Structure formats: structure tokens, C-alpha cells
Structure 1
Amino acid sequence: MPASPGAAEAASSHSNFTAFLASLFLSKIADQVLLFLVPLVVFQSTSDVAWSGLAFALEAFPRFLSFPICGALCDRISPVRLMRWSQLWRALVCVGGAIGGASIGGLAWLITLSAICGVLTTQGAMAREVILPQAFQRHRFEKVLAYSQTADQVGAVLGPVLAAGFLALWQWPTAVAATAGIFLLGDLALLWWQHSNLVPLHARGASHTTAWAAMLAGLRHIVLTPGLRKLVIEAAGINLVVGVTLASSAALFTGQHGQSAARYGVLQTAGAITTVVILLGIAHISLPVRRMGLAAFVLMVLGGLLTALSASVWGYALGYLLVIGLDKMFNVYLRSTRQKLIPLADFGKTTGVMAMLNNLSQPLAGLAIGVFAAQWTAGGVILALTGLMALLGLVAARIK
């Protein structure tokens, strides 16, 4: 007996979503390999936490500064085309960087290719933000966000494991070349989704808007739209602690706490698994969005305090898991709230400006580690930034 039209449509929708998630998953694996390699390879080469923090900042600044331009492009060009370009160009940059690193040598090749790939990752992420509410309208948006971020985090589970395995077998140029192949697999999955998707997707903004005008329009929405300023301040505080945790974790875990690179990979994997469990709970249990954000914020402050003050590796690990595991829970609150507040025609450009303002605190945190770790110790820097996060949370609570 043939399936009903409704059942066939539901099956097609499920298949489309699975293909889309597969692309996110593969792209995240490859991106996570690069994020894992840079601070660890730099620290192994220099034995200096300051250089590790500076390398993280150099890699991350271009990634976050490009958000407004990438967001504006999503209002002018097909987001699917932009997402495919992001995958293909990252593969090509990895191949070029691997060849340069193998033939000429030097860590500058690794940091530079990671910075370029970071910008392209930003473009892919912004295109995804525009695609999700258009292509998957049949589902509760918090559920769509939870599943898409689960695909991200499952990729983050495997990324550090693959990176540690790559470094155990090869030098970093060969590891980067293998990463290019993963980016290509992600593009094939996206191509499969594109061919099976039945929902028309297109840019929704004015095609003649300049990049500067688009940024000003996004800033205007943030200033004038009730609720958006509050989100920017909260997210900036969150990303201070996330940034300082990411920038210092390789050095603190393998240096101060005396653990191996393999165990560092296990720690990162545990953080990703914790996040997956939390996101699957969000996908299956309907929670008030605001309460979700508040719980994530408070527990991440606690996590920052533990990573700063704990003399035990287990205390540090618990703090790390709280910070990394609950970051995406806060992100569901953030993305779900701004989706309701930003006009559709300006969604890309406004989200791009918001993302830049939110995420600039991550590389600033890495820069703080590089500049102040020698005088204050890494724990002192983490403690100061955690206190600043708590202060920003109190400021945001007083904003309507």
C-alpha cells in the first residue's frame, strides 16, 4: 500500500534534515581539528602558555571580525551557495597550507591557514543561520537548533580525537592535508541535501546595500530593538570565559596539571559529549527559553571559578566541562530569542553584527592570557575574566 502524501513528505523532510546535519557534522570535525592543532602545536614547540594564547588570538580575531560582512552576504547571495563555497575553499586553503608547511616549514603556515579557514567557517555558520528557519519550518525552532548543535558537538567529539591521532602518526602538515579531505566530504553531504531539498531558499535583503550600510543597519537594530542589547552583553560575558578556557586549556592541562596530549584530547571529547547530552535533553524536553539561558550563565560562572582556582586536575576538568558543556545550551537561548526579535529581511546583517560583538571577547580573552599570564598566572587571568562575566550578567539583568 503506498504511503500517504503526508507520510512521504515527513520522510522526505527527515531525510533532508539528516543530510544537512551530516554536512554540519563533517565540517565541524574538520574545523575542530584545526582549532585543536594550533594552540597545542604552538605550546609543544615553544613550551610557553603566552605564545599559545597569542596564537589562539591571531587565529580567532579574523574569524570573529568577519561576522558582519559574512552576515550581510547572506542577505544578498543564496545562503546555500555561500555554504558550499565555504566548504570548498577551506579544503583548498588546507591543501595550500599543508604544502607550504611541509616544503618551507614554520608555524606561521598553520596559524595563517587556520585564520583563513576561520573566516570561511564564519561564512558557513552565517549561511546556516539563514537556512535553518527557512528550510525546517515544520519543526519547533529550539528543537532544530538543538539537533544542529548536536551535530556540531558530535563532530567536536571526534575532532580532537582525530587531531590527536593525526599528530601521533604525522607532522602537522599531513594532518592538515587529511583535514582538507574531511571538508570535501562535508561538501558532498551538503550537495546531497541541496539536490533533495524542496523548500526554495534565497537571499532576503536588498542586493544593492553596501557592506558599511549593512553593518549600520545591523547596529541600528541592536540599539533600537528591545532585548537585543541585553543578548549582546550576556553573550559577550559568556564568550570571555569560553575564550579564556579555550586559549589556556592546552597549556594548563598539559603543563600545570601535567597531563598528556592524549588525555587533553579525552578532556575535549568529554566536553563535547557533555554538550551533546544537554542538547539532546533540550531537543526532547520543552523548557522556558529564558530560564534555560539563566541556568547556563550561572553554572558557567561556577565553571570559570573552578578552572581558575582548583589545584586538582579533577576540579579543573569539572570546571572545563561546565564551561564547554553549557555554552551551547546558552547558545540555544541566544539564537532562539534573536530569531524572534530580528526582522527577516535584515536577519543576516543584524545577526552578523551581533555575532561579531558577542564573539570578539573570545580572542580578547586569548590575548589577555598572552599579555598577563606571566604577571598574574593563567589562573589569575581566568579569575579576573570570570568576575567580569558575572558583572556583565548583572548589567544585562537591569536592561529591559
Structure 2
Amino acid sequence: MPNRVGGRHARTPVYGMVRRIYLPRTMDAAAFSMSTYGIPLLVLATTSSAMLTGVAFALEWIPRLLAFAGAGAAVDKHGATRVFRVAATSRALVVVLAAVALTLVTDTTVATIAVMALAAITGVLTEYSFIAAETAGGVASKEAGKHEHRVQSVLLGIDQSATLAGPAAGALLLQYAGREGMLATIGALSLLAALFAPRTRRTPVTQSLPTATAHQGLRTGWKTLRALPALGWLVTGLTLSNLATGMIQAAAPVIVVQQLGHSTASAGLIWSVAAVASLVAVTLCRFTLDRVGLWPVGVVWAVIASVAGLTVPQANTYTTFMLVIAVLMAGEGGMTVVLRTLRARLIPSEVYGATLSMTILIMLLPFPLAGVLVAVTPPAYLGHVLTACAVLQTLGLALAFARLRTAPALRPRPDRLLSTSPKDP
């Protein structure tokens, strides 16, 4: 008869890192990547409209932002495993139902409404599963002690590997297996993610917040972030950087398909090549962070991202466009390792879900704005908007890392672990 002493979480089976963290993260990241990059292509293939493609990108992100507060509070209250499983299962059901509906519907207007609604619904469910997976990864990073950046490097490597395979696979499935084939694949990956839900040895549920609401989660996350100025400045810089990245992501289908004359498969290939470059950056970070610390590594990748962002509007061939985006995403990947390491190092476990949601909410605000900008900007003027966003990216990263130069949290501290108290920024 099983021992029931210690509560339900105490009876959680003991798994290794691969089974309890990395495997479910892989399944969810693959579904995340295919839906994020594939659904705008699906809208473009269905409507042939650059404006509606931008609107779909905004619709994919606006509900995600609204979902973050609820996702963080739900994870802190119910635990990462339960939230992850419910979100992944729901996403599987939604995309399979959408695939069936698109098979039966022949009216173009109805099909357009269906794919737009699909973008919004999958955006919400994806963020719930993402917050749950990130929280489980943050707990695992704390357990790793001073090697927390290695866990974050593996997690980011999984995300970038999914970005490597997801856009290309989604574009190829859309081109050769149709809308139904792409959506069925996303559904299968979501179901596998639900079956292999992440497990944490130390539950993030806290008894002090039994009735936490989305509003309380936002207040808790904002209060904690304000108490961590090092994290706050880095989030600010990366938020401005994300405006440039979001504009490129939203405009890429229009630029590649309509301006450069390539197929949807070629548009997906760009992000797969970019993911390879990002994986290289993540691998380099895994070793350099041990030796030189967070700040120098972050500065190098910030410079690389800024130069690439300023170069993107000048790329007038498909090959050049693809290579410059690859360099840009390499810089973004390196800075993301720095961010995730600092985030796992400083945020207290008992409010990790709420604070994580707040940081991601702030950083993702530019993405729906980017979709709106693409929707209202004539294709001929997209280059000018991309240049303006790249200038903001450069200025934001320069200001952030200038303020972080003397921050204790970004210095190498091999002799002892850094405190996770919000009073030790």
C-alpha cells in the first residue's frame, strides 16, 4: 500500500532531468513553434492578403498577453504539471477540430474567420503551457545551483531546435499535406506533450496564496520585478529589441512570398536556418558564461543583434535576407541565455510563476504591435519601419547594458551561489 504521508506532491515519482523536464519541453516547444510560425502562413495561403497576415500575427499575440497573468497565477496555485497538461490537451483538441472544420468548409469567408480564431485560441493555450514549462525549468535551474545557466542553455537549445524544425516542417506540411496535415501534426505534438507533462521535485504551489487571482499575480510579479533592478533593466532592453524581431517575424511572409517571389516553404526555411545560428550561440554561451560572466557575454551578443537588425532592411535578395536574420537570431539567442540565467538566479521560487509571467508579458508587448504595423504599412514602406525599429533596438540594448555594467548579479561568482532574495539585485 503506497505511503500517503507528506501530501500528493511528495508521492511524485522521481525522474531524471530528461524525462521530467527536457522531454515534455521538447514536445511542447515543437507544437509552439509550428503554431507560431505556421498559422500566419496558413492565413496568407488562405486569404492571399498581406494585411490579414499582419492582423493574424497580432491576433496570435494579443490573447497571449492577456493570458499571462492568469497563467502565472494558475501555475503558482495549481502547480506546473496540472496547468501544462490541461493547456496542451486543450490545444490538441482545438487544432484537430479546426482541421476537421477546414476540411468540411468551402466558403472562403468562413475559412478566413476560422483560421483567425484559431490564431487567437492557440495563442492563449500555448502561453499557459509555456509558463508551466518555464516554471518547471526554473525550479530545475535552482536545484542545479551555480550551474543553473547550463540547465537554461539546454532548455533554450530545445526551444531553438524546435524553431529549427517547426517553421520548415509547418511550411512543408502546408505546401504538400495541406492545412489539415499541418494542423493534425500540431495536435499530435500537443497530445504527446500532455502525456509527458513536466514534473518538479519541489512543487511551486504555495500555501500562502491559495486564492491567487490573475490580478494578484500581476501585482506580485510587478512588485518582485521592481525589487530586482538588474532583471528590470535587462527586460527593458530586450523588450525594445523584440520590437525589431517581431516586425521581422510579422513581415517575413510578405517579404519572402510577395516581394522576393519565393514559396511558403522558403519562408519557413529562413527560421530554420536562423535556429541553427541561435543554437550555435547558445552552445557558445554554455561555455563562456562559466569563464567571463553574464555581462560581457550579453554585451557581445547585443552588439551582434543590433548590427544585424540595422542590416535587415538593406537585404534585397532571399539569401542575404536569410543570412542576416540568422545573425540577428544568434544575437537574440545569446541574450536570451543571459536573461533566463539571471531570471532563474534571482526570482524567488514561491513567486516564480507570477514574476515569470510579468517579465514575459512586458517583453512580448511589441509582438502584437508589430502585427498591427505590418497590417497598416504598405509593403513598399516596410523597409523604413524595419529601420526605425532597429534603431530603437540598438538604443535600448545600449542603455540597458550600460546600466548593468556594475550590477553584482551579472558578475561571475564562482565561489558561492547568489541569493534569490528580491533584495539582492
- Same topology, TM > 0.5: yes
**Unaligned runs of at least 5 residues, structure 2:** 1-12, 405-425
Output aligned runs, 1:226-245, within 5 Å.
Answer: 226-245=229-248
Deviation at 1:284, TM superposition (A): 3.9
371, 384, 395: which is aligned to 1:366? 371
165, 171, 177: which is aligned to 1:158? 165
Q: How many residues are matched?
A: 383
Deviation at 1:176, TM superposition (A): 0.8
Structure 1 residues 229-265: Cα deviation after superposition (integer angstroms, max 9, x where no partner): 3122112112111111110111112222222222223
Structure 1 segments of 4+ aligned residues over 6 angstroms from their partners: none
170, 179, 182: which is aligned to 1:172? 179
* Corresponding residue of 1:82: 83
Matched, 1:342 2:347: yes
* Corresponding residue of 2:203: 201
Q: 1:203 to 1:373 in 2, by over 3 A?
A: farther
TM-score after normalising by structure 1: 0.88
Task: Check whether the contact 2:65–2:364 (CA below 8 A) recurs between aligned residues.
Answer: yes
* Corresponding residue of 1:6: none
* Corresponding residue of 2:33: 32
For 2:214 and 2:271, locate their aligned partners in 1 and report how far apart those are by CA, in whole Å.
37
Task: Check whether the contact 1:239–1:362 (CA below 8 A) recurs between aligned residues.
Answer: yes
**Unaligned runs of at least 5 residues, structure 1:** 1-11
* Corresponding residue of 2:295: 290
Q: Which amino acid aligns with 1:98?
A: A
For 1:71 and 1:348, locate their aligned partners in 2 and report how far apart those are by CA, in whole Å.
4
For 1:161 and 1:393, locate their aligned partners in 2 and report how far apart those are by CA, in whole Å.
30
- Computed over aligned residues only, the root mean square deviation of the Cα atoms, in angstroms, reads 2.3
For 1:367 and 1:47, locate their aligned partners in 2 and report how far apart those are by CA, in whole Å.
17
SS of the aligned residue for 1:106 comes to helix
Q: Which amino acid aligns with 2:272?
A: T
Task: Check whether the contact 1:79–1:131 (CA below 8 A) recurs between aligned residues.
Answer: yes
356, 361, 364: which is aligned to 1:356? 361
Task: Check whether the contact 2:295–2:401 (CA below 8 A) recurs between aligned residues.
Answer: no
For 1:224 and 1:373, locate their aligned partners in 2 and report how far apart those are by CA, in whole Å.
43
Deviation at 1:13, TM superposition (A): 8.4
Deviation at 1:330, TM superposition (A): 1.2
For 2:58 and 2:343, locate their aligned partners in 1 and report how far apart those are by CA, in whole Å.
27
* Corresponding residue of 1:301: 306
Deviation at 1:200, TM superposition (A): 3.6
* Corresponding residue of 1:138: 144
Q: 1:200 to 1:397 in 2, by over 3 A?
A: closer
For 1:225 and 1:265, locate their aligned partners in 2 and report how far apart those are by CA, in whole Å.
38
Q: 1:13 to 1:345 in 2, by over 3 A?
A: closer
Q: 1:225 to 1:16 in 2, by over 3 A?
A: closer
Q: Which amino acid aligns with 1:247?
A: A
* Corresponding residue of 1:51: 52
Q: 1:335 to 1:164 in 2, by over 3 A?
A: same
For 1:217 and 1:26, locate their aligned partners in 2 and report how far apart those are by CA, in whole Å.
30
Task: Check whether the contact 1:373–1:381 (CA below 8 A) recurs between aligned residues.
Answer: no
Q: 1:18 to 1:127 in 2, by over 3 A?
A: same
Structure 1 residues 102-143: Cα deviation after superposition (integer angstroms, max 9, x where no partner): 223512222322322221221122112221232352361111
For 2:165 and 2:132, locate their aligned partners in 1 and report how far apart those are by CA, in whole Å.
24
Task: Check whether the contact 2:285–2:297 (CA below 8 A) recurs between aligned residues.
Answer: no
For 1:125 and 1:173, locate their aligned partners in 2 and report how far apart those are by CA, in whole Å.
24
TM-score after normalising by structure 2: 0.83
Matched, 1:378 2:382: yes
Q: 1:13 to 1:304 in 2, by over 3 A?
A: farther
* Corresponding residue of 2:191: 184
For 1:273 and 1:58, locate their aligned partners in 2 and report how far apart those are by CA, in whole Å.
28
